[in-house]
Structure 1
Amino acid sequence: MSDPISTLSPAGDRHFDGLADKFAASLYGGARGELRLALLNRLLPEMLDLHGQPLLDVGGGLGQQAGWFAVRGHAVTLAEPSGEMLARARASLAGHEVNLLQAPLQELTQLAPGPWPLIACHAVLEWLADPRSALATLAGLMAPGGQLSLMVFNRDALRLSNVVKGNLEKALADRLEGKGLRKRLTPISPLTHAQVEAWSAESGLAIREVAGIRVFADYLREPPQSEADREQLLALEQRYCRVDPHWRLGRYLLYTLERPLRSSEEATA
């Protein structure tokens, strides 16, 4: 039997060439994907100060989030390393004025340096070999006073999900990361809230808002079958997604990070 074929980039990151169909079906198809987008539709205007400022969408994938910002008057640049994903984004964004750039996050310092008043980086860091350095790179792209909408795959929620499935030994050993092999879509670098807190502080960013995306949905024994059940679930998610302790077990954690206008050193000089 041959060894599994790795789909990691030379930098050790997970890109999605050859996986666009599975990515679209697994992450956006069905009730969970619809719920994720519905929650973002509600939360982004609450958590961000939006006034049509230019936006850099990092790892923009299929283009859903870029389209959301474009229709609200933002001049959007979508950066995505996968040519296959970028082609799908181009098709889905037909009619929108969105600048498309094929580039990984690490090259944006040269290719899209900004500084940007608004950056979105949703479900990207968990697919990178070095998410800590990636967050520092994002911080360097931000204008003073700029905002970063960051969404990451929650390691603590992944642990609970494994327990619910009966994978007790795996959860106890904390073997939660995917390996980036074949067509499996378990993130290679799921993150904890503590890591986001620490790395944000290192990069000079302040956490202004936080919410959990899909706090309850992924733990249901059966997905909601009727439209009424789906509406009830959405209402439940919306009610508790920003309430402690519930947000801490969202499948994704959504943050608004801000680069202060002046550093603390400058303010006290």
Structure 2
Amino acid sequence: MASRPTGASPAPLSADGDRYFDGLVEKFSASLYGHPRGELRLTLLDHLLPELLDLHRQPVLDVGAGLGQMGCWFARRGHAVTLSEPSAEMLDEARRLLAAEVVLPAPRFVSLPLQSLPDEAPGPWPLIVCHAVLEWLGDPRQALHTLSGLLAPGGQLSLMVFNRDALRLSNIVKGNLDKALADRLAGTGQRQRLTPISPVAHAEVVAWAEECGLTVDGVAGIRVFHDYLRQRDPDPETLAKLTALELRHCRDDAYWRLGRYLLYTLRKPEEPDL
């Protein structure tokens, strides 16, 4: 398991060492969803979530809801969704997105960091969604313990993390060999940089889940091919072919570990009958 770099990170980070996105909403939106990679990510999630999760319109806590895409996805399918997001600006964008939808029950929005959820939204929750959040936190391991504590017995956690191993491979492909050898993969937290400060390896997720008493029910790779292409913004015809390949191989053992993101279903065991 790769060791994590130590030392202070440049601002802007929270007191907990977490990265929020106030003042960067437009940059964040353009960097991800203004490119084919964002469209591909959402397409893959639309395909994978019904495969990896047992969905029966149960209430959902969307942790680090961002711009609201995942909250909207679940709300459209009849789930009562609570969207939690520490960035007020991001949460405002999520409100605007959900306001354009006619969904019942009405979504709930809470401006909270993950660490405050046990006090303010304790559940227990039958389904928690936490996508692309842990990699922006100073202590992702503790964050997973917090999420586990919010789950109801038998509950599911849909967890997506920025893949540290894929980030290493990407740097090697680009020729950043010294950076890869020194394991200098994490972002610094500088305002205009969007490289996560705590990219997470698969081995870490497995170990942390075991610590929490969670089982790994399923895993898939998100963008297992796209991010290694020389053509970073493929034309529509190429993107369609690439999407077909991603959908075909995102759960294959030979490829899912290459995903820029790793998508897990973690489950808390049922309480034994007494």
Equivalent in the alignment of 1:206: 215
Of 51, 61, 67, 1:62 maps to 67
Query: Is 1:236–2:241 an aligned residue pair?
Result: no
Q: TM-score, normalised by structure 2?
A: 0.93
Amino acid at match of 2:203: A
Q: Distance in 2 between matches of 1:226 and 1:58?
A: 33
Shift of 1:260: 0.5
Equivalent in the alignment of 1:174: 183
Amino acid at match of 1:32: R
Q: Distance in 2 between matches of 1:155 and 1:28?
A: 21
Equivalent in the alignment of 2:40: 35
Shift of 1:226: 3.3
SS of the counterpart of 2:15?
coil
Within a 5 Å distance, the mapping from 1:15-26 to structure 2 comes to 15-26=20-31
Q: Distance in 1 between matches of 2:20 and 2:235?
A: 35
After superposing the two structures, state which structure 1 stretch, 216-225 or 7-16, moved more. 216-225
- Whether the 8 Å contact between 2:216 and 2:264 is mirrored in structure 1 is yes
Equivalent in the alignment of 2:269: 260
- Whether the 8 Å contact between 2:163 and 2:260 is mirrored in structure 1 is yes
- Whether the 8 Å contact between 2:36 and 2:234 is mirrored in structure 1 is no
Within a 5 Å distance, the mapping from 1:57-136 to structure 2 comes to 57-94=62-99, 95=101, 96=103, 97-136=106-145
Structure 2, unaligned stretches of length 5 or more?
Answer: 1-8
Structure 1, unaligned stretches of length 5 or more?
Answer: none
After superposing the two structures, state which structure 1 stretch, 249-258 or 179-188, moved more. 179-188
Q: Distance in 2 between matches of 1:215 and 1:225?
A: 15
Equivalent in the alignment of 2:226: 217
Change in CA separation of 1:225 and 1:188 when aligned onto 2, cut-off 3 Å: closer
SS of the counterpart of 1:185?
coil
Q: Distance in 1 between matches of 2:66 and 2:219?
A: 23
Provide, for residues 164-184 of structure 1, a one-character-per-residue CA deviation record: whole Å limited to 9, x for no partner: 111100001100000101210
Equivalent in the alignment of 1:245: 254
Amino acid at match of 1:157: A
Amino acid at match of 1:180: G
Amino acid at match of 2:248: R
Provide, for residues 129-153 of structure 1, a one-character-per-residue CA deviation record: whole Å limited to 9, x for no partner: 0000000000000000000000000
Provide, for residues 159-207 of structure 1, a one-character-per-residue CA deviation record: whole Å limited to 9, x for no partner: 0111111110000110000010121000000000000000000001000
SS of the counterpart of 2:270?
coil
Equivalent in the alignment of 1:50: 55
Shift of 1:223: 3.5
Equivalent in the alignment of 1:148: 157
Q: TM-score, normalised by structure 1?
A: 0.95
Change in CA separation of 1:5 and 1:199 when aligned onto 2, cut-off 3 Å: closer
SS of the counterpart of 2:262?
strand
Amino acid at match of 2:186: E
Of 184, 187, 193, 2:193 maps to 184
Q: Distance in 2 between matches of 1:200 and 1:127?
A: 18
After TM superposition, the runs of 4+ consecutive aligned structure 1 residues lying more than 3 A away are 223-226
Q: Distance in 2 between matches of 1:140 and 1:225?
A: 42
- Whether the 8 Å contact between 2:135 and 2:198 is mirrored in structure 1 is yes
Q: Distance in 2 between matches of 1:189 and 1:59?
A: 15
Equivalent in the alignment of 2:4: none
Shift of 1:66: 0.2
Of 11, 24, 44, 1:6 maps to 11
Aligned length: 262
SS of the counterpart of 1:151?
strand
Provide, for residues 76-128 of structure 1, a one-character-per-residue CA deviation record: whole Å limited to 9, x for no partner: 00000000101111111104421000000000000100000000000000000
